[in-house]
């Protein structure tokens, strides 16, 4: 196994510590960020960077590390907030659920769980840490199920409307795309995000085979952590800035970062075709697609509300 699957990285989340001082209790370790009553330490950041180096398929370099570090800190802050919300709601995760999650990560690597465990240990990654982080991701899934999922509804009228839209586009170009979506919630952080996105796109153009791994790691698109791509789309579905680029792409091409009002996209065109009637999706497929899109939007709003109310202090 050359790389650990990037889904392993997305499961790596920080564990809350009491934020009592500039150093962690009983150690001299520096704190890089305080999130409510939790902290992110220098070792948390280093552990994530080391795991990315072992998993991403991208060539490690000092320049990449420097550009990656601010993004990692942001990711860890996001994960702290999500973990804390699960705790606040009193949501519990059973040991069996963690076992199943670990097996799924191993499956992403196409190896048995016991072999995956040994691979982690050989790379100096504690299995207990991985299990803790799987627990955190499952807990956030339960937050979404408890607070959001029950509010998501896809009606027959919604499905009919989507089918009608697709039928009107029969004979027009359709694009099969994969994406890396990097949301930017604060416009002031866009320049910083662009620096990282430009470097990431540059490396992916040189190593296009690493795109799926990078998408699992960095993309915030629906289904990204499960390795799902956007799939077949027509113009008019995605942000107008992305729409404008689609007709200019050739099969296999990877774009430079595309700036939108909500963040940055890196697009890879997998294929292109003209939509035919026998290629129209089933009603079940449309239901799943619309439900996922609405769930994702609602989840983002919920998280942004949490973040706006959180105390966040970066220290390094």
Residue 18 maps to a domain: yes
Is the domain of 146 the same as that of 12? yes
Residue 249 maps to a domain: yes
Is the domain of 144 the same as that of 12? yes
> Distance of CA 228 to CAs 58, 103, 225, 252, 266, Å?
20, 19, 7, 17, 15
CB atoms within 10 A of CB 56: 24
Is the domain of 11 the same as that of 54? yes
Is the domain of 135 the same as that of 183? no
Residue 58 maps to a domain: yes
Is the domain of 135 the same as that of 25? yes
What are the two backbone dihedrals, phi and then psi, of residue 233, each rounded to the nearest 5 degrees? -135, 155
CB atoms within 10 A of CB 140: 20
Is the domain of 240 the same as that of 306? no
Residue 88 maps to a domain: yes
Number of domains in the chain: 2
Residue 82 maps to a domain: yes
What are the two backbone dihedrals, phi and then psi, of residue 148, each rounded to the nearest 5 degrees? -125, -45
Alpha helix (H) ranges present in the chain?
A: 7-10, 42-55, 62-88, 95-108, 113-122, 127-147, 156-168, 190-206, 211-218, 240-245, 283-309
pTM for the whole structure: 0.76
Tokens 């609405």 correspond to 294
Residue 1: half-sphere exposure toward Cβ, Cα within 13 Å: 22
Please name the residues in contact with 205: beta carbons below 8 A apart, sequence gap of 6 or more: 254
Is the domain of 32 the same as that of 108? yes
Residue 158 maps to a domain: no
Tell me if residue 213 falls in helix, strand or coil: helix
Q: Do residues 227 and 283 make contact, with C-beta atoms less than 8 angstroms apart?
A: no
Give the separation between CA 76 and CA 44, rounded to whole angstroms: 8
Is the domain of 191 the same as that of 81? no
Is the domain of 105 the same as that of 239? no
Give the separation between CA 160 and CA 141, rounded to whole angstroms: 29
DSSP letter for 310, please: S
Is the domain of 176 the same as that of 137? no
57: CATH: 1.10.4030.10
Provide the residue range defining the domain that includes 84: 7-150+301-314
176: CATH: 3.10.50.40
Please name the residues in contact with 71: beta carbons below 8 A apart, sequence gap of 6 or more: 182, 193, 196, 218
Give buried/exposed letters for 243-281 (b at 16+ CB in 10 A, else e). bebbeebeeeebbebbbbeebbbbbbbbebeebeeeebb
Per-residue pLDDT of the chain (316 residues; tens, 9 = 90+): 333 333 343 333 333 343 433 444 455 679 999 999 999 999 888 887 776 766 565 666 777 777 788 888 988 898 899 999 999 999 999 999 999 999 987 887 778 999 988 887 887 777 776 787 788 789 899 999 999 999 999 999 999 999 999 999 999 999 999 999 998 878 888 998 899 899 899 989 998 988 888 887 788 876 665 555 788 999 888 899 999 999 999 999 999 999 999 899 999 999 999 999 999 999 999 999 899 889 988 998 999 999 999 999 998 6
* Residue 15: predicted pLDDT: 38
The secondary structure of 32-65 as a DSSP string is EEEETTEEEEHHHHHHHHHHHHHHS-SPP-HHHH
Residue 178 maps to a domain: yes
DSSP letter for 138, please: H
Residue 237 maps to a domain: yes
Q: Do residues 51 and 16 make contact, with C-beta atoms less than 8 angstroms apart?
A: no
Give the separation between CA 175 and CA 313, rounded to whole angstroms: 42
Q: What's the distance, CA 29 to chain centroid?
A: 28
Report the candidate in 81, 73, 76, 14 with the shortest Cα–Cα distance to residue 309.
81
């Amino acid at each position: 196994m050359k790389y650990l699957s990037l889904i392993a990285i997305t499961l790596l989340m920080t564990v809350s510590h009491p934020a009592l001082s500039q150093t962690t209790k009983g150690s001299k370790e520096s704190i890089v960020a305080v999130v409510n009553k939790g902290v992110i330490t220098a070792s948390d950041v280093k552990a994530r960077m080391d795991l990315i180096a072992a998993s991403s398929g991208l060539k490690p370099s000092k320049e990449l590390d420097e550009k990656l570090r601010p993004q990692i800190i942001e990711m860890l802050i996001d994960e702290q907030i999500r973990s804390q919300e699960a705790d606040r709601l009193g949501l519990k995760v059973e040991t069996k659920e963690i076992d199943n999650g670990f097996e799924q990560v191993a499956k992403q690597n196409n190896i048995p769980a016991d072999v995956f465990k040994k691979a982690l240990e050989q790379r100096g990654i504690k299995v207990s840490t991985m299990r803790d982080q799987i627990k955190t991701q499952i807990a956030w899934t339960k937050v979404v199920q408890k607070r959001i999922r029950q509010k998501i509804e896809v009606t027959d009228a919604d499905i009919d409307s989507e089918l009608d839209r697709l039928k009107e586009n029969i004979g027009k170009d359709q694009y099969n795309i994969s994406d890396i979506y990097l949301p930017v919630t604060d416009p002031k952080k866009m320049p910083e995000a662009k620096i990282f996105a430009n470097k990431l796109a540059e490396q992916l153009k040189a190593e296009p085979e690493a795109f799926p791994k990078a998408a699992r790691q960095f993309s915030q698109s629906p289904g990204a952590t499960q390795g799902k791509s956007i799939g077949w789309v027509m113009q008019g579905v995605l942000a107008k800035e992305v729409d404008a680029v689609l007709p200019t792409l050739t099969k296999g091409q990877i774009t430079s970062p595309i700036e939108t009002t909500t963040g940055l996209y890196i697009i890879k065109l997998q294929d292109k075709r003209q939509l035919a009637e026998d290629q129209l999706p089933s009603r079940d497929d449309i239901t799943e697609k619309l439900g996922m899109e609405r769930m994702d939007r609602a989840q983002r709003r919920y998280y942004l509300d949490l973040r706006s109310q959180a105390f966040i202090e970066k220290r390094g």
